[in-house]
Amino acid sequence: MPIRAYCTICSDLFDNSKDVAAIHCGHTFHYVCLLQWFQSAPNKTCPQCRKQVSTRHIINKLFFDIAPEDDGTPVDPESLQNELDSMKAVLSEKEKEWRDKQKSVDTLKDTTERQKRDLDRVQKEIGDKEMLCAVLRKQMNFLESQKNEGQAAKEEAKRLRVKMKTYESLDVVLQGQRSEVEAMITDMGVGQSAVEQLSIYCISLKKEYDNLKGSLKSSNEMCEKLKRELISSNSKLQKATAETNGTKEDMKALQNDLSNADKEITSLKKKVEILQRTLSTPTRTNEAISRLVFERSEFQFVRSGYDGLGGRAKFIQPSPLSEIRPLAMKSKRKKVSRPVTSKPTSSLTTLDGFLE
């Protein structure tokens, strides 16, 4: 009956792919499995009978003579049953291992999920803590700045108190009586600090004197500048007053000239009316006179102005050449004897009197 052996460590059958080793108790295993067993076990014992063994007693490799299989040879039912039982045993062990591993996987999955939830919760807590830390850090920076400002304010107040005390002493030195100054110097004592304090007072008094001297100088310069500006303003005011008076006189003269021109225009209008009434006969002399009078009254204007010698004179503005119209030439008519009347003679007499 053939024998099919397997390694009790890995539960695999022996074949030519792996070396088979044996120990002195007689049990056989895969050589690699046996070495791993010795390395992992706390005591070096046989994996099957638990006898004490050592690595010196290991037979590293066993050799088997495998007989050829006959095709027509009948198979022993017992061997088949043994092989089936062994396969069932292996299968049950594999199933058991698979169930154990499945349980381990499920456990690991639950553990992983639980750890993920814990990780999310921890990350959220870390975020909250970081926000809280940032807020606390800001508050700490603010408090530190407030502390620094308070410290600086204390130092400034201390310095100002010392300065105020120095100013009070200087005020006593400047405005106090001799007895008060002597009492202050006596209170200061005769030590090094008193000498330093007196030197400070002297330096402060010198600086104050220099400042007053500089302010006095600037005040004098400002007064001189204001005086010069006042003098220049007075001169400008006098010039402006003189120009205003001259302008007023010119205005009065212009008004007088305007009234005289109005009077002349009125008189000329009256003369023109007299001439228009007088010139009733259409003679050549009357037409020339009426045209002359008309052009004089229309195109000549009287204006007044300075004559260049300090006085005023009247000027007659001549008519422009473009506005002078030539006398229309009339065709000669045949002389017609007309009876002489007395009325034209009187009008000619009036015209001669006006022209004179």
The ranges assigned to domains in the chain are 1-74, 84-188
Q: Residue 182: is its pLDDT beyond 80?
A: no
Question: How far from 302 is each of 259, 274, 295, CA to CA, in Å?
Answer: 12, 21, 14
Is residue 14 within 8 A of residue 7, CB to CB? The reply is: yes
- How many angstroms separate the CA atoms of 330 and 327, rounded? 9
Residue 202 pLDDT class (50, 70, 90 cuts): confident
Is residue 180 within 8 A of residue 172, CB to CB? The reply is: yes
CB atoms within 10 A of CB 279: 17
Structure tokens at 253: 């003269």
Q: Tell me the per-residue pLDDT of 5-45, one tens digit each, with 9 for 90 and over.
A: 788 888 888 877 788 888 888 888 888 888 888 888 788 88
Over its C-alpha atoms, the chain yields an Rg (Å, rounded) of: 73
pLDDT, residue 7, reads 86
pLDDT, residue 343, reads 46
Q: Alpha-carbon torsion 226, 227, 231, 232, what sign? A: negative
pLDDT, residue 1, reads 38
Q: Of 65, 44, 43, 53, give the one whose Cα is nearest residue 22.
A: 53
Q: Residue 97: is its pLDDT beyond 70?
A: yes
Q: Residue 121: is its pLDDT beyond 80?
A: yes
User: H helices within the chain, ranges in order?
Assistant: 31-40, 77-175, 178-188, 192-278, 284-299, 342-355
Is residue 60 within 8 A of residue 19, CB to CB? The reply is: yes
- How many angstroms separate the CA atoms of 244 and 176, rounded? 61
Q: Tell me the per-residue pLDDT of 297-306, one tens digit each, with 9 for 90 and over.
A: 544 445 566 5
pLDDT, residue 287, reads 62
Q: Tell me the per-residue pLDDT of 269-296, one tens digit each, with 9 for 90 and over.
A: 988 888 888 776 555 665 666 666 555 5
CATH topology for 1-74?
A: Herpes Virus-1 (3.30.40)
Is residue 9 within 8 A of residue 33, CB to CB? The reply is: yes
Structure tokens at 142: 């603010």
Alpha-carbon 17 to chain mean position: 83
Residue 203 pLDDT class (50, 70, 90 cuts): confident
- Give pTM, 2 decimals: 0.26
User: 28 pairs with which residues across the strands?
Assistant: 22
- How many angstroms separate the CA atoms of 120 and 139, rounded? 28
Amino acid in position 203:
I
More confident residue, 72 or 78: 78
- How high does pLDDT run on average in the chain? 78
- How many angstroms separate the CA atoms of 312 and 333, rounded? 52
Q: Residue 209: is its pLDDT beyond 70?
A: yes
- How many angstroms separate the CA atoms of 283 and 351, rounded? 13
Average pLDDT, integer, range 100-126? 93
Average pLDDT, integer, range 210-238? 91
- How many angstroms separate the CA atoms of 78 and 2, rounded? 10
Q: Residue 99: is its pLDDT beyond 80?
A: yes
pLDDT, residue 15, reads 77
Q: For the stretch 153-188, what's the b/e string if a residue is b when 16 or more beta carbons lie within 10 angstroms of its beta carbon?
A: eeeeeeeeeeeeeeeebeeebeeeeeeeeeebbeeb
